[in-house]
Amino acid sequence: MKKRIDARLLVLFVLFLAAMGLSVPLSWAKYPEKPITFIMPWPAGGGTDISGRPLIEAASRILGQPIVLEYHPGGSTTVAMNILKHKKPDGYTIGMTTLSATISQHMRKVPTDLMKDFSYIMQYAEYSNGLVVRGDSPWKTLKEFLDYSKANPGKIRYSSTGPGSPPSLVMATLGKHLGIQWTLIPFEGGPPALTALLGGHVEAYTTTMHVKPHILSGRLRLFCAYEEKRAPSFPEIQTLRELGYPISCSNFLVLLAPKGLPPEILDVLHQAFKKALDDPEFIKGCQKVDHVIVYRNPEETTQHIKKMDKEISMTLKEFKLGKEKD
């Protein structure tokens, strides 16, 4: 009987506060109440980390809780996506992904499905990608590099962040289109792939623009851009399509959570990260690695993922680059 009376008193107290226009101090009605874990699928120091970290820090300040970064590189985002998939959809574990996850699930068997296993929070940017060689290499133009590659099957080794990454897909489709055989040397992230090129262990690197400082210094030579439009920092460098090759690849950066994230929590995260897009440090980070800020809300992001999934599937079928056989 006493419990029933206490419950009635609590209800009356809540109604009184609401009538007085006061907030209701119910701890279970507030999110977030504790730190949030953020699963990063690429290593520290790469392009995704350079632009993503300040965005996460800004969102943390807006949410009023720490967001703790966990780095789980490997498998062209497959390792991180599998970890995130199995977390509780309560808003306390979120992450980000790129087009690599879409490509990977078409290239080989992976334990996740982008359209079934995740709730999308928003898109916040797109990559710029391109092909680079060392500044002291004998090839001055893309044509010279391609001519040499074709005349010397298998001799050109190129580094990348794995066969499921967008830059690697471009190289694979370009090789199929031109009948070129070259050797992919995969790494878990951009920094070691760059080190391999600078150290002379490979002849080229298909990459995002986290290598921008090395291009500006002359240590690296940029041959082309992979997107429909030229890279913002290098407007003089033509795209593959402008150079006569019918290949392009636009890479997204999106925030996501395990499937089943409650709508009210998704909205809190969406609004916080959307506001964080205006943070000066985030904008500076994007400029540093040539990430273009592109915002899409949760529904728009979900539809864009579906669209890119279909386009990647068609590209892989066209160039016979589908899933590995058992």
Residue where a domain terminates, one of 164, 190, 225? 225
Are 210 and 259 in a shared domain?
A: no
Are 182 and 134 in a shared domain?
A: yes
Give me the domain span that covers residue 311.
Answer: 34-127+251-318
Residue where a domain terminates, one of 167, 190, 225? 225
Are 269 and 300 in a shared domain?
A: yes
Are 283 and 135 in a shared domain?
A: no
- 114 contacts 313 by C-beta, under 8 angstroms: no
Q: What is the pLDDT of residue 189?
A: 87
d(CA 163, CA 187): 9
Residue where a domain terminates, one of 190, 225, 260? 225
- 184 contacts 160 by C-beta, under 8 angstroms: yes
The answer to whether position 4 is within a domain reads no
Strands 93-98 and 36-40: parallel
- 292 contacts 123 by C-beta, under 8 angstroms: no
The answer to whether position 24 is within a domain reads no
Are 120 and 133 in a shared domain?
A: no
Are 120 and 135 in a shared domain?
A: no
d(CA 43, CA 40): 8
Q: How many domains does the chain have?
A: 2
Are 217 and 267 in a shared domain?
A: no
Are 103 and 133 in a shared domain?
A: no
Q: What is the pLDDT of residue 29?
A: 53
Q: What is the pLDDT of residue 26?
A: 40
The answer to whether position 324 is within a domain reads no
Are 187 and 212 in a shared domain?
A: yes
d(CA 36, CA 88): 12
Are 168 and 204 in a shared domain?
A: yes
Strands, E, within the chain: which ranges? Answer: 36-40, 67-71, 93-98, 118-126, 129-134, 157-160, 183-186, 204-208, 220-225, 252-258, 292-296
Are 204 and 269 in a shared domain?
A: no
d(CA 105, CA 322): 10
What is this structure's pTM? 0.81
Instruction: Measure the CA dihedral 195/196/202/205, to 10°.
Output: -50
- For 36-52, give the secondary structure using H, E and C: EEEEECCCCCCHHHHHH
Are 262 and 122 in a shared domain?
A: yes
Q: What is the pLDDT of residue 259?
A: 98
Strands, E, within 187-287: which ranges? Answer: 204-208, 220-225, 252-258
The answer to whether position 62 is within a domain reads yes
The answer to whether position 9 is within a domain reads no
CATH number at residue 54: 3.40.190.150
Structure tokens at 326: 């058992």
CATH number at residue 213: 3.40.190.10
% helix, strand, coil for the chain, step of 5: 45, 20, 35
- CA 213 to chain centroid, in Å, comes to 21
Q: What is the pLDDT of residue 278?
A: 98
Structure letter (DSSP) for residue 27: G
The answer to whether position 273 is within a domain reads yes
The answer to whether position 238 is within a domain reads no
Q: What is the pLDDT of residue 320?
A: 81
Instruction: Using DSSP, state whether 160 is helix, strand or coil.
Output: strand
Q: What is the pLDDT of residue 196?
A: 97
Per-residue pLDDT in tens (0 to 9) along the chain, 326 residues = 444 445 454 444 444 444 444 443 443 459 999 999 999 999 998 889 999 999 999 999 999 999 999 999 988 899 999 999 999 999 999 999 999 999 988 888 899 999 999 999 999 999 889 999 999 999 999 999 999 999 999 999 999 988 888 999 999 999 999 999 999 999 988 999 999 999 999 999 999 998 999 999 999 999 999 998 899 999 999 999 999 999 988 889 999 999 999 999 999 999 999 999 999 999 999 999 999 999 999 999 999 999 999 989 988 888 888 665 43
d(CA 308, CA 21): 47
The answer to whether position 117 is within a domain reads yes
The single-letter code of the amino acid at 289 is: V
Q: What is the pLDDT of residue 322?
A: 67
